[in-house]
């Protein structure tokens, strides 16, 4: 059985997402999500916990992730004013067997963030659930799991991973 999503197509999509984030085209990033899309980051000490029963760092429904994008673009989003310079790297991409219309994609990531004379590194792996929209791939859910023990020295995740 052929998978409906080739790895190269998934990679192109992830690279496009990374480029939007690094260019601070955040509202376009939010538009990569379906109307019921979710963006999630679990706590560093409970990476396998479920979002409704475990304390997450990010538990965004579609409205909130859109507002997250809008917020970060405002001058009054103090944690990102001036903005961080970021570089999102995605690798080790694997496309799993489709579950109906939903195509799971797994990858490793590293995000570099630099601001106010300090550079932070966010290593992790991500689980995407992609679907096909009329205009290309869309994200039903993105879960970014940080592979760090505690959020130190990074301190915060005020950027989008």
- Tell whether residue 7 is a contact of other proteins (CB under 8 A): no
Give CA–CA dist 146/152, Å, rounded.
12
Give CA–CA dist 27/24, Å, rounded.
8
Give CA–CA dist 128/113, Å, rounded.
22
User: Based on CB atoms, which residue is closest to other proteins, 32 or 41?
Assistant: 41
Task: Write down the least CB distance from residue 13 to other proteins, Å.
Answer: 24
- Quick one: which of 7, 63, 85, 132 contacts other proteins (CB under 8 A)? 63
Give CA–CA dist 130/62, Å, rounded.
14
Q: Interface residues for other proteins in 84-123 (CB under 8 A)? A: none
Give CA–CA dist 80/93, Å, rounded.
29
Among the listed residues 71, 55, 48, the one whose alpha carbon sits nearest the alpha carbon of residue 127: 48
Q: Interface residues for other proteins in 140-159 (CB under 8 A)? A: 150-158
- Quick one: which of 9, 22, 28, 77 contacts other proteins (CB under 8 A)? 77
Residues that bind other proteins (CB under 8 A): 41-46, 49, 51-59, 61, 63-64, 67-68, 71, 74, 76-79, 150-158
């Amino acid at each position: 059985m052929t998978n409906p999503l080739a790895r190269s197509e998934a990679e192109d999509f992830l690279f496009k997402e990374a480029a939007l984030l690094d260019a601070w085209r955040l509202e376009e990033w939010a538009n990569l999500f379906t109307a019921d899309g979710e963006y999630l980051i679990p706590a560093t000490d409970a990476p396998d916990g479920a979002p409704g029963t475990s304390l997450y760092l990010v538990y965004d429904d579609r409205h909130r992730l859109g507002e997250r994008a809008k917020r970060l673009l405002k001058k009054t989003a103090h944690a990102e004013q001036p903005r961080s310079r970021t570089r999102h790297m995605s690798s080790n991409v694997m496309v799993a067997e489709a579950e109906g219309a939903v195509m799971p994609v797994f990858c490793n990531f590293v995000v570099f963030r630099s601001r106010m004379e300090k550079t932070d590194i966010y290593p992790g792996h991500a689980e995407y659930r992609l679907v096909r929209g009329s205009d290309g791939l869309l994200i039903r859910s993105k879960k970014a799991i940080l592979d760090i023990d505690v959020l130190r020295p990074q301190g915060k995740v005020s950027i989008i991973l």
